[in-house]
Amino acid sequence: MTPQERFAANLRRARLAAGLSQEELGYRCDLHRTEVSLLERAGREPRLATIVKLAAVLETSPGALCEGVSWMAKARRFAVKRPPRA
């Protein structure tokens, strides 16, 4: 699993918990629906400003959207934990 895939899973889970469609989330974040779709399919790596907007609308923290992704400095690679089963 890549960092983008873990972010995508976290984003989708948070959006569904908030009861929002991709279109409504995009509208509230000033993003196009296709951008939200790309983020949820790990087709695009989010920018910091996008993560902050998404977290605010979903009433969560940027850290929660990035949960399960960390950087291992000595190994110079990402460590990605699989999300819990829904």
- What are residue 69's phi and psi, to 5 degrees? -120, 125
* Whole-prediction pTM: 0.92
- From the centroid of its chain, how far is CA 60? 11
| Residue 32 and residue 24 in contact, taking contact as beta carbons nearer than 8 Å | no
Enumerate the domain spans of the chain.
3-80
| Residue 62 and residue 56 in contact, taking contact as beta carbons nearer than 8 Å | no
Domain 3-80: give its CATH superfamily. Answer: lambda repressor-like DNA-binding domains (1.10.260.40)
Give the integer Cα–Cα distance in Å for 36 and 23: 8
Q: Mind listing the pLDDT tens digit for each residue in 7-58?
A: 999 999 999 999 999 999 999 999 999 999 999 999 999 999 999 999 999 9
